[in-house]
Structure formats: C-alpha cells, structure tokens
Amino acid sequence: MKKPVIGLVPLVDVERDSYWMMPPYFDALEQAGALPLMLPLTGDPDDLAQLTALCDGVLFTGGPDVAPAFYGEEKLPACGLVVPRRDEMELRLFRTVLEAGKPVFGICRGIQLINVALGGSLWQDLASQKQMDAAAHEQKPPYDRPCHRVSIVPGSPLAALLGKEETEVTSRHHQAVKALAPGLEAMAYSEEGLVEAVRMPGRPFVWAVQWHPENSYQVSEDSRRLFAAFVDSCKKEN
C-alpha cells in the first residue's frame, strides 16, 4: 500500500538564510507509517493548491512567534523573533488544506498558527503577561522527558484516543492561545488553564497540541498514538 505523504512546513533560519527541519518531525511520521515531505516556503496560491493536492495531510511545525499583526495586536517587546514570510505562507496553506478537506496536525507554533488563522489571538509572552510560572513550560534538555501535566477534557476525542483524562507532556513555549478561535474546541488544559490541545469539530482530523510529541514518541505511548491518529486519518484520504 502506498504510504500517505505528509507535507511539513519548513523551519526558517533567518540569520543563516536557510530552510531546515528537525529530524524528530520526520522520524515520528515515518515510524507512524507516513512519508514526510518538506514543503517550499512559497506564498503563491496556485502552488500551494498544487502542493496540497500532492499531500495527504499537512503538519504545521514549531518555530518562531506568529507576528501579532496577524491577530490585530501591536508587537510587545517580549514577543520573540517573527518571520512574516513564513506566517503568510502558513496562513494561506492552512486555509488551502482546510478547503481541500485534508487532515492537519499542528505542533507548538502549529496550534498558535491555526488559532490565529481561524480568528483567535495569542499571549505574546506568558512570563510578562500572565501571573504564572512560565518557566514551567520551557523545559531544558533532555527534550523527551515529561515537563508538565495537562488535563484532558472528558468526552473529547483526545480522551478517547489516549484513554485517560490526564497526561504529562514535553513543553517549550513562551506564547499560548489567548482567545480561542471560533471553530476550535479545546481538548486539554495546563494547570494554569492554558489551552494545550484543540481540534476543529466536524472535520476529519484537524488537531493541534501546544506540546512536542515528536520529541517523546520514542518513550511515550501517548505521543505515538497522536501521530498514529494523524497518519491514519491521512490514509483514509488516499
């Protein structure tokens, strides 16, 4: 049987003027039975439509902060590096993939990008904007170890997938969902009430998590189940 092809948004190193990918994104998809394919950073709508047609699903990867202009805010000093070219490509790509009815999985920046694409907003910097211990979400290596607990919404598809209502996740983020976009449903929260997982109800598989299952798929059955659920939904599109 042909493996599903999963398009991945490239990481961008502005300083080195390069596109790149962290191997765990590829590895986790491959072990789940998919063929990962890193996409070009094109903004051309026709090219994005053709690339979408080529892919059975798309993974929105981690990365720098989404430019606050895309959710109608001024950039605060504590907001990190932004790469508007990548934002524009991804916002267009997400809408194109959605129109095509194909599965989507978002990781870290991916959940933030999807929330913004659907009209939500972000905390630009948890440490300076929220009364919370933001360091609890910024783990140091090794990155495959659990960092913090999340509670899973009872009755959600995530609770059904993992067969539990609480889990421990890896974490490397200083931003988070602020206003949840209409059209998204929260499936998990951190202890401080941050949205840690979402889905688009009524879609085959449009899910995103704030944590990094690609870093822990080797040691975490929960992470493997997330990738398997995504890849299985992409197989159904074949």
Known catalytic residue at 79? no
Closest approach, Cβ 158 to Mn ion, in A, equals 15
| DSSP-derived pairing of the beta strands 206-209 and 195-199 | antiparallel
Closest approach, Cβ 148 to Mn ion, in A, equals 6
The two tokens of residue 74 are 């001024």
- Nearer to Mn ion by C-beta: 148 or 199? 148
Known catalytic residue at 214? yes
How many Cα atoms sit within 13 Å of 99 on the Cβ side?
12
Span from 14-22, 44-52, 114-122, 132-140 in contact with Mn ion (CB under 5 A): 132-140
Known catalytic residue at 212? yes
Is 112 near Mn ion (CB under 5 A)? no
**Quick check: 95 and 47 in contact, CB under 8 A?**
no
The two tokens of residue 21 are 């990918």
Is 115 near Mn ion (CB under 5 A)? no
Q: Which of 86, 137, 178, 199 binds Mn ion (CB under 5 A)?
A: 137
Q: How many residues bind Mn ion (CB under 5 A)?
A: 2
Residues 166-225 touching Mn ion, rule: CB under 5 A, are: 171
- Terminal CA-CA length for the chain: 10
Give the whole-angstrom CA distance, residue 47 versus residue 52.
Answer: 8
* Category of 216 on φ-ψ map: left (φ > 0), alpha (ψ -120 to 50) or beta: alpha
Catalytic residue ranges: 108, 212, 214
Site residues (CB under 5 A) for Mn ion? 137, 171
